[in-house]
Structure 1
Amino acid sequence: MNLKLFISDLDGTILETEDYHRLAYNALFNELGLKQTWSKQDYVARLQTMGGNKFREIFEWMKLPEDEYRETKVQLYQRKTELYVELITRDLGNGTLGLRPGIVRFFTEVMEAGIPTAIATACVGWAAEKVVEAALGEQFLDSLAAFCGGESTPRHKPAPDIYLLAAKRASVPTSACAVLEDTSHGMRAAKDAGMICVVTPSEFAKDHDFTHADLVLEDLETPMPFTVEGMASLF
């Protein structure tokens, strides 16, 4: 089997958590005493046009001196991330948030086949680890061949850096890696890293262009269960 390393994204791929970022921002606005809220449409527009610069907009709402921007941005990011983790772990605990279809089955099949697994996510490492542990358990987290959070590389997806790093940390050539993603940015990162990429589009990525993906599925159970053998056949 040519498949030597399976790498998964986190947000939108393992769990449908993209909207939890929006909810965390809105909770942050409330804590700051701001009247603004972001609807799903508002948030998707910012994902498309602003990248990671959403904190500039928030800072301007706060009407603080410009020389406080850098420190304030760090504080806002830290608190927003804490809220994101709190919301997800709460809803995983009470059963209102579940893993995407087929994730547990497929990840188990990968492990039983003896194929190392890695996580490569734009989410900051400490937060991503808490979410993965809450979703899949401490044993799964400890079994990973590599765990790369958003701070692991200076360039984020769609740059291939984080996938190249995951392969390097697992000591596996990029040509032997397969990636599970949910967005076009993630797909581009995986393909530019020279890897196989299977996409299960998340809620906010349904309209993305996945032309260059090796396979696009609604989820890992639809239209039929996707297997390790199916992923290996893409090489």
Structure 2
Amino acid sequence: MRGLILVCLSALLASCYAKKESRIEYVGRLQRDLFQDYDSEIIPLADSLDGETGLNVSVGLNMVYMDMTAEGHLDMNLWLKTSWIDERLAWDPKEYHDIDSIRVPAHNIWIPDLEVYNNLGYGSEYINDVLKSRSTNTVIMSNGLVIYVPAAKLTVPCNDKEFADWPWGEYDCSIKLGSWTYSGYLINLQKCEDKNYITNESVEEGISPVFFTENSFQEESLNSDFYPCCQEPYPALHYKFKVQRGFQIGADGKQENPSPVPAYKPAKN
């Protein structure tokens, strides 16, 4: 009996002093479990009955800063806002100390091959190259939701019909982006938060020299293109908007636009 008591006491003491699993250990265990058989080259699309239901990929742009060059090119600093569900990356938080999200480099997982079709800028900071490098972290939620918001630069041409009014005129510009290779049967492109316009969240008024005017984003931005080679649709976001310079900094200091058009204000729901 005494021996049995000693064994029980030893077991109790061992359990009391047993090392708890640290956050480094259980996050590492989670990542090993998620990526053991993961293939980042395969789109996370489950079989569909009709073969025409693609993976829902939400896409949007958030403008941080805009300026226009003397050549009529619009330079923009922005965030690309994307999200989708990858069921292979879902887990039960209860099995991993209730952790409900992790940060993972984008090059470790499948990422949609988005491109800005009319981008003129190339280099490590420009959007198409940023997307190819996949160097930004993603946030992955326990339900498999992947949130990918890389920051990048972008340069697009603008309509020069009205450039006689330079530098204070109102100019037509557009940005068109979509998947480079996936059709609508594989990627179902969606507007982020169902917004038909480029947002400018977290941007103080008057910081950007160029702004969207009230005549912007009048057309539906999400459309599909069809090509002679193929019967499947190729969806793309095509933002059409007008911009105007609010001010410029010259040798004489800051010059304000003498005839500004009201800025674009999205309709309130």
What's the TM-score once normalised by structure 1's chain length?
0.28
Greater strand percent: which structure?
2
Which of the pair has more CA radius of gyration?
2
- Higher helix share goes to which structure? 1
**Larger RCO (alpha carbons 8 Å, 6+ apart):** 1
